Chains A and B, each alone.
Chain A
Amino acid sequence: SQQGEEDPQALSIQEGENATMNCSYKTSINNLQWYRQNSGRGLVHLILIRSNEREKHSGRLRVTLDTSKKSSSLLITASRAADTASYFCATDALVNDMRFGAGTRLTVKP
């Protein structure tokens, strides 16, 4: 079964705008990761946030984690057309597997 669920399923914005995607999960986790997938390609790791962290930054990416609400958000600032992709969150539950949600499909219009 899926562990993480991303929201929204699809998001369309203009270049330069910020994009926010959310991830909710069901069970306690050790960490949460965000990945990006260009159409039909392998996933690329973006950022990992541990359960004892609340916020993390990497370039134009900002990730927050609220373990009390079992949710995370990924913010992409100043989006570019090249950011067009699907974004997935992955959680490891307690058995160190790595389960993904259904993803958010982001379209950034030039």
Chain B
Amino acid sequence: DSGVTQTPKHLITATGQRVTLRCSPRSGDLSVYWYQQSLDQGLQFLIQYYNGEERAKGNILERFSAQQFPDLHSELNLSSLELGDSALYFCASSVDGMNTEAFFGQGTRLTVV
């Protein structure tokens, strides 16, 4: 158990809908990362937060948004969903987001039908 909790584990929704993925980081970790992994592909870096502030942005679509709350949990919002958004979405946390080991959640498997 990495200590990172992602909910829900599975999500099936229709095209055009909006969903929210939630991540609770490991206790004491201030930085949260979000990644998208399509079938048998590598991990695409979406966005990183540190202590509530956005620190780095990757290949995150405009239809997607995220935030990190004062209690350090994070949410990834995906809207106007398309079939191609079907993927595993991983959250990871690290102590300070700088040169340190990251701990991954088990992911949310999103299926858009």
Contacts and interface: CB of A to CB of B under 8 A. Distances in A.
A110 interface: no
Contacts of A40: 88, 107, 109
B99 A102 contact: no
Interface residues of B, number: 29
Given A88-B42, A97-B48, A45 B101 contact: yes
A97 B45 contact: yes
A62 interface: no
B8 to A, nearest CB: 15
B104 A96 contact: no
Nearest to B47: A97
A103 B39 CA distance: 13
B103 A97 contact: no
A97 B58 contact: yes
Contacts of A35: 104
A32 to B, nearest CB: 10
Interface in B24-43: 33, 35, 41-43
Interface of B: 2, 4, 33, 35, 41-45, 48, 55-56, 58-59, 88, 90, 92, 97-107, 109
Interface of A: 1-2, 30-31, 33, 35, 40-45, 48, 50, 88, 90, 92, 95-103
24 contacts: A2-B42, A31-B99, A33-B102, A40-B107, A40-B109, A42-B4, A42-B92, A42-B107, A43-B92, A43-B104, A44-B104, A45-B101, A48-B99, A48-B101, A50-B99, A88-B42, A92-B98, A95-B56, A96-B48, A96-B55, A96-B98, A97-B45, A98-B33, A100-B42
